Amino acid sequence: PLETMAKSLYAEATCPVCLDLFTNPFTLFCGHTFCAKCIQTWASERQSSKLICPLCRAATEKPPVEEWQMRKLTLLLKQHGPLLQLMLHVSPELQRIWEDMSLDAATASSLLVVSKDLRSVQHAKSHQDMKEDPRRFTHLACVLGAPSFSTGQHYWEVDVGEVREWSLGVCKESVDRRQRDLSPEHGFWIIRMKAGAISANFTPESRIPASPRLERVGIFLDVELEEIRFYDVGNNALIYRYIPVSSLEPFRPFFLLDQTGEGDGGVLRICPCKGSGLSDTPVEWEGEPQ
């Protein structure tokens, strides 16, 4: 939706003659808008007593009208467009704040198995008998990541692979580990993949069709700007943006594997940050082999 809106704004502010953002835009009687220089050049080449629209060919003797609203929009796009484009795509700047992240096994539900390197998680074949721990999720197949974030900008990527149904994002450090309502009101800011579509915080109204090639999700958190963005890394596109994301306590990366009833549902894997020296070696699991 945000990317569609950005494309629509750029299309609205683009001159159909020079195909660039408007410079000194004027609107003709027919309603079409052009750069002042473009329409002057067009008119001088035709040497007609009437002004003919380059698009619809409507002729008029009325002079063009200066388009102040379009001038303001064009100015905003010229000033902030690079920032908007940066926000819509996985930029090199994000690579520089890539976090070396791991899974916090102490928070993992007994429904899950965490790999020995603390970077991968999947469903356990059977319910595991674990010690009671207030940090552990009890009702949903969730696990938190480490470290926590109280300030600054942070980025990480998750390989969702063959997992059909998952949820990713951040939550407050103090969230109730028995909670089933994963909404901002309870300290969760997540996106959820289910039935081939993505939704925000389990809200059906916010469903976003997902790319069938979605294999890796990038997550960007800016604590000071109270913002979190989710990217389809393979398609270099923004999926969803939350703002404001406000908390007086640290944020924790959040991972959930939904029960699909069809096998173990695949593996979620935290991607190693570039230059870390970590390779895609075979995953070794704690406990029984999966």
Rounded CA separation 64/33 (Å): 9
Burial class (CB in 10 A: 0-12, 13-18, 19+), 207: middle
pLDDT digits (tens, 9 = 90+) for 226-282: 999 999 998 888 888 888 888 889 999 999 998 654 445 689 999 998 765 565 566
Buried b vs exposed e over 211-236: b needs ≥16 C-beta within 10 Å? eeebbbbbbbbbbeeebbbbbbbeee
pLDDT digits (tens, 9 = 90+) for 93-130: 888 899 999 999 999 998 899 999 999 999 887 766 66
155 secondary structure, DSSP code:
E
Which residues span the domain enclosing 35? 1-88
Whether the pLDDT of residue 3 is over 70: the answer is no
Amino acid at 199: S
Number of domains comprising the chain: 2
Domain containing 22 — which CATH number? Answer: 3.30.40.10
Q: Name, in order, each residue with C-beta under 8 angstroms of 55's C-beta and a sequence gap of 6 or more.
A: 16, 30, 32
Q: For the ranges 52-61, 84-93, 204-213, 225-234, which has the lowest average pLDDT?
A: 204-213
Q: What predicted TM-score, i.e. pTM, was given to this entire model? A: 0.72
Could you tell me if 111 and 228 lie in one domain?
yes
Amino acid at 130: M
Domain containing 151 — which CATH number? Answer: 2.60.120.920
- The larger pLDDT score, comparing residue 157 to residue 208, is at 157
What is the model's pLDDT at position 275? 60
